[in-house]
Chain A
Amino acid sequence: MVISVASGKGGTGKTSVAVNLALSIENVQILDCDVEEPNVHLFLQPEIEKVEGVYTLIPKIDESLCNYCGKCAEFCEYNAIFVSKDKILLFSELCHSCGGCKLVCPTNAISEEPHKTGSVYSGKSKDIEVIYGELEVGDAVATNIVREVKKRIDKSKNVIIDCPPGASCPVIESIKGSDFCILVTEPTPFGLHDLKIAVSVLEEMKIPFGVIVNRSDLGDKRVYDYCKEKNIPILLEIPFDRRIAELYSRGIPFVLEMDEWKKNFRKLFETIKERVQK
């Protein structure tokens, strides 16, 4: 079973939920797809066994063949190529590797070459298999790394995917193919606003989901009212607890020191399993 942990708003506790869930159940593989700032490994401290580079193809321009017609720049949806009367400039960080510039070039001046855009780290933290991606500094396209991380999914395990925040391409790439998605939110106006966006994404993707309310005793009741109105199950509530916060600040997942929470996360897992099998 593949469970993704997402949220519209950042900082609601996706990684906390993902890591604590991973530590509460058996036979786990956890993937950190928040490749712009992966942090699952900070909590699980895995021993890294393998680091693999992720490469994409970017155009290589042979200026001796270029006649500066500008067709490539005109074609590029991401403005990664600029052509003046006697110069051509490539902004590789904007390139999405579609290869279109090569196809439209009338003089065959464009070929493709590999460009390193990030890395995938694989390792183990006790019995938990940990895989995370990391986007190269200066690069802007995260989806390729997310895809590479997800190629390593082991379906014989209970797979937990920690997603990036928001509702943009890398988030959708991370959630894609999940059997269930947990949306972590907080009961604040921002939490609600971004939850609504995330819900609309999941409805579009037709992936079953439920909500975890973190810092559940803060803020107001509007997240609850919204979930009730939309018939969205609230899977778990995590209170604003000083102990949880202190453990977090020391990089310790709270289930390790608060045994009762292990039970809560196990129950959460069972609830999800039932919902998926239904």
Chain B
Amino acid sequence: MRICITSQGDNLDAFLDPRFGRCNYFIIVDSETMEFEALPNPSLSARGGAGIEAAQTVLNKGVDVLITGDVGPNASKVLSTSNIKVITTKENGTVREILDKFLNGKLG
């Protein structure tokens, strides 16, 4: 399973970024190997439609689960057409903590 968490930094100890479309990084973790990739968000400075573009990025990465703080209406419309499971959380821990909680079924 490929899990994408919006993050303020480029590693697992960075904090979750509550924004989706304009988050700093997408951290994409493979739950089998626990290997991860930190992808700078290309939509960070988009003039408009950042959420749509961010959703396209995440989708192209073959993500199964997306964990973030909140998703705007356009991005939500886009994501609902995909098979990505979207989890919005009010938690504000590090990516590692959020991931642990999710994998132990303690998130959302």
Binds A, one of B32-40, B76-84, B89-97: B76-84
CA distance A70 to B47 in the complex (A): 20
A-B contact count (CB 8 A): 37
How long is the Cα–Cα vector from A94 to B46 in the complex, in angstroms? 12
Give the A interface residue count (CB, 8 A): 14
The reply to whether B78 and A78 form a contact with Cβ atoms under 8 Å apart is: no
Query: In the complex, A89→B59 CA distance in Å?
Result: 14
B55 to chain A: closest residue by CB: A82
In the complex, A17→B81 CA distance in Å? 50
The verdict on A82 contacting B48 (CB below 8 Å), with A87-B81, A89-B78 known, is: no
- Assess whether B49 is interfacial by the CB under 8 Å rule: yes
The SS class assigned to the A binding surface is loop
Any B CB within 8 A of the CB of A140: yes
* B-binding residues in A (CB < 8 A): 70, 73, 77-80, 82-84, 87, 89, 91, 94, 140
B residues apposed to A, CB below 8 Å: 43, 46-50, 52-53, 55-56, 59, 74, 77-78, 81-82
* Apart from A79-B56, A84-B82, A140-B48, 11 more pairs, CB < 8 Å: A73-B56, A78-B49, A79-B50, A79-B52, A84-B78, A84-B81, A87-B81, A89-B77, A94-B48, A94-B49, A94-B52
